[in-house]
Amino acid sequence: MISGKSKVCGVMAYPVEHSMSPLMHNYYSEKTGTDLVYVPLKVEPGRVEEAVKGAYALNFTGMNVTVPHKQEVMKYLVDIDEDAKAIGAVNTLVRTDGGYKGYNTDAAGLKRAMTEAGIEIRDRTCILFGAGGAARAAACVLAKEGASVIYVLNRSLEKAEALSEIVNERFGRRIMLPMALDDYGKLECSSCLAVQTTSVGMHPNVDHAPVEDAEFYKKIDTAVDIVYTPMETKFMKYVRAAGGKAVGGLDMLIYQGVIAYELWNPETVFTREMIDGAR
Ligand code: ATR
């Protein structure tokens, strides 16, 4: 039951109607017995500053921020966590004195989903598909967790180069090597760990994968597709058909939510059963 004491959180997005976050977070409140309500907040582009100030004035405990506001919101925060700064995007706001502090739980969510799936990153040769915002978060996880090298394959080589430069500078070594997606045939590696972050294969384009060549997928022994609609992408099917292990993006979505929820409610204890129930 909502009462005068309930904590209020929400998700700022445009559009917001499709967001799964209200369902997920209100489910967590119910299951953990936490007095926290979570509402959808439709914020038009250009109104992010008003929205952040308004939410603070309205005593919101925290918020999630998603497309298209993840970068814009960074201008209106009193502090930003180091990982979020490196990723260049914020998806979670936590109330502090004087304003909100920004975090990025996408990266932490990906890391936790990989750990739970028993996927090791240390000393692995990685292939990162895509060079957008999601790829930047994934690149930070792979680099931070000790990948030996990350080949970044992207449709536009320029974006792959730009992302590599940012990550290499942050980690002080040439860990990322950019390549044009069309040149995938030149990639020399075996038993690679792949992370797929492009929108290729996402509903409604379910019949597509970033590389349409079954032979290529023999180079990959473990893969994560961060797409969760559909739950099994064509990319995952290619990896499995070539004998590899593939996991989808639903767990990353769930864990980024759990980690945000824990930031707003550090005392909340999640059980395996609650997390599994979110699926
Ligand atoms: P996000 O924040 O979800 O990463 P984004 O920043 O728009 O979204 O990035 C989308 C990624 O999907 C990019 O890497 C994009 O490639 P480009 O940088 O060349 O645009 C990739 N992508 C989208 N549609 C694609 C397609 N049809 N084929 C290959 N790559 C595609």
Domain total in the chain? 2
Please name the helix (run of DSSP H) or strand (run of DSSP E) that holds residue 11, with its range, or none: strand 7-13
Quick one: 180 and 125 in the same domain? yes
Ligand 1 centroid distance, CA of 133 (Å): 9
Active site residue 70: yes
Of 118, 115, 173, nearest to 143 by C-alpha is 173
- The confidence score (pLDDT) of residue 180 equals 98
Pair of tokens at residue 266: 């550090």
Q: Residue 114's pLDDT is what?
A: 97
Report how many helices (DSSP H) and strands (DSSP E) the chain contains, helices first: 9, 12
pLDDT at 241: 98
Q: Which residues contact 201 (CB under 8 A, 6 or more apart)?
A: 208, 209, 210, 225, 227, 233, 234, 235
Q: Is the CB of 132 under 6 A from ligand 1?
A: yes
Q: Is residue 185 part of a domain?
A: yes
Q: Is the same domain home to 214 and 261? A: no
pLDDT (tens place) for every residue of the chain, 279 residues total: 899 999 999 999 999 999 999 999 999 999 999 999 999 999 999 999 999 999 999 999 999 999 999 999 999 999 999 999 999 999 999 999 999 999 999 999 999 999 999 999 999 999 999 999 999 999 999 999 999 999 999 999 999 999 999 999 999 999 999 999 999 999 999 999 999 999 999 999 999 999 999 999 999 999 999 999 999 999 999 999 999 999 999 999 999 999 999 999 998 888 888 888 888
Both 137 and 242 in one domain: the answer is: yes
Task: Please give the full DSSP string across 76-129, using - where no structure is assigned.
Answer: G-SEE-HHHHHHT---EEEEETTEEEEE-HHHHHHHHHHHHTT---TT-EEEEE
Sign of CA dihedral 25, 30, 33, 36: positive
Both 125 and 219 in one domain: the answer is: yes
Return the CATH number at 60: 3.40.50.10860
Quick one: which atom of ligand 1 is closest to the CA of 136?
4
Q: Are residues 84 and 128 in the same domain?
A: no
Is residue 2 assigned to a domain? Answer: no
For ligand 1, atom 23, which residue shows the shortest CA distance? Answer: 199
- For residues 168 and 225, membership in a common domain is answered with yes
Same domain, 17 and 90: yes
- Please give the distance, rounded to the nearest whole angstrom, from the Cα atom of residue 131 to the centre of ligand 1: 7
DSSP per-residue string spanning 155-201: SSHHHHHHHHHHHHHHHTS--EEEEEGGGGGG---SSEEEEE-SSTT
Q: Which of 256, 266, 252, 253 is nearest to 61 (CA)?
A: 266
- Nearest residue (by CA) to ligand 1, atom 30, is 155
Residue 211: per-residue pLDDT: 98
Residues 75 and 160 in one domain: no
Q: How far apart, in whole angstroms, are the C-alpha atoms of residue 140 and residue 146?
A: 10
Q: Ligand 1 in contact with 205 (CB < 6 A)?
A: no
Asked if residue 114 and residue 99 are part of one domain, the reply reads no
CATH code for the domain of 124: 3.40.50.720
Please indicate, yes or no, if residue 75 is contained in any of the structural domains: yes
Give the pLDDT score at 275: 84
Task: Give pLDDT, residue 117.
Answer: 96
Question: Which residue among the candidates 5, 42, 53, 70 is catalytic per the annotation?
Answer: 70
Whether 1 is covered by a domain: the verdict is no
Q: How far is the CA of 89 from the centre of ligand 1 (A)?
A: 16
CA 90 – CA 125 distance, rounded (Å):
28
The verdict on 207 and 260 lying in the same domain is no
3-state secondary structure of 220: strand
